[in-house]
Structure 1
Amino acid sequence: MACVSSSSFLLLKQPTFSPRSKPSNHFSTRRRVVVVRAEAMSTTTIEKLGVKIERNPPESKLTELGVRQWPKWGCPPSKFPWTYSDKETCYLLEGKVKVYPDGSNEGVEIGAGDLVVFPKGMSCTWDVSVGVDKHYKFG
């Protein structure tokens, strides 16, 4: 399978067997092209208002960090204040949240598939619009 990058798309060329050929390892010259949005496959890291967010981290990174062995926490849609007494790293399995750091009218949106780091000492308000299920680690 060959990959060809084209702006925000990846074109994956998959070999197909010729309908006239007998079962063998022979491939025809015809190709089927599969288009996959690159955003669905890429990892993006941003830092906003002191919160670091890595969207769609590779499974290899989650394994390296031991994320699946971290404790879990969840909550239904709600709004509440929170202060981080230590740095927290969390991985959202489900949910959608807008976090408003104290002193800012702007929020940071996080959701399922995000690996997020909140700095020690941050005070904020969590506005949970879709129930959260996450792995977390302090320190």
Structure 2
Amino acid sequence: MASPGMIHGHLRSSASAIIGAGSPTLLRDKRKRRGSAALCSRLQIRAETMATKELEIKVERNPPESRLAELGVRQWPKWGCPPSKFPWTYSAKETCYLLMGKVKVYPDGSGDGDGCVEIGAGDLVVFPKGLSCTWDVSEAVDKHYNFE
């Protein structure tokens, strides 16, 4: 009959063979988890990058009159505001054409200066649906706008 010490030693070595650090199954599972975590991180970064690209502000500087006519810009409603600073969230895609003014648009999370988009008179701008930002108007704005 085996002594208690032999049984305990046998159980310990069997357990480590089954669940211990040297277990090929456990090592493979750890690598899978690490691989899954890395894949999740890559997918999360890619999703954030895609979301950021989807929420980009597009600026067309001084488009030709033919482009403005093609879009029907001159028939769009007008909006204006004095110098001011305010938050805004776009519930729909907006395309606007600035007739006058200067604005710095800070998308949420961009910090002061980083990622800021400067727009002014003569710019055709597209703000994507879902964008949250702060408008910092330094010169009074007058613009045509269209929501889609």
With normalisation by structure 1, the TM-score equals 0.65
**Which residue is equivalent to 2:103?**
97
Task: Give me the identity figure in percent.
Answer: 83
Report whether the alignment pairs 1:68 with 2:74. Answer: yes
Note the 1:1-139 alignment, pairs <5 A. 50-105=56-111, 106=114, 107-139=116-148
Q: Deviations over 1:32-63 (max 9, x none)?
A: xxxxxxxxxxxxxxx9x710000010000000
SS state of the match for residue 130, structure 2? coil
SS state of the match for residue 110, structure 1? strand
**Structure with larger Rg:** 2
SS state of the match for residue 99, structure 1? strand
Q: Which has the larger share of strand?
A: 1
**Count of aligned residue pairs for this structure pair:** 92
CA distance in 2, matches of 1:50, 1:58: 23
The 4+ residue runs of structure 1 with deviation greater than 2 A are none
> Offset of 1:73 from its aligned partner?
0.2
What is the root-mean-square deviation in Å for CA atoms of aligned residues?
1.2
Q: Which runs of 5+ in 2 are unaligned?
A: 1-52
> Offset of 1:89 from its aligned partner?
0.1
SS state of the match for residue 125, structure 2? strand
For residue 104 of structure 1, what is the amino acid of its counterpart?
Answer: S
> Offset of 1:88 from its aligned partner?
0.2
For residue 68 of structure 2, what is the amino acid of its counterpart?
Answer: L
> Offset of 1:66 from its aligned partner?
0.3
Q: Deviations over 1:76-119 (max 9, x none)?
A: 00000000000000000000000000011221000000000000
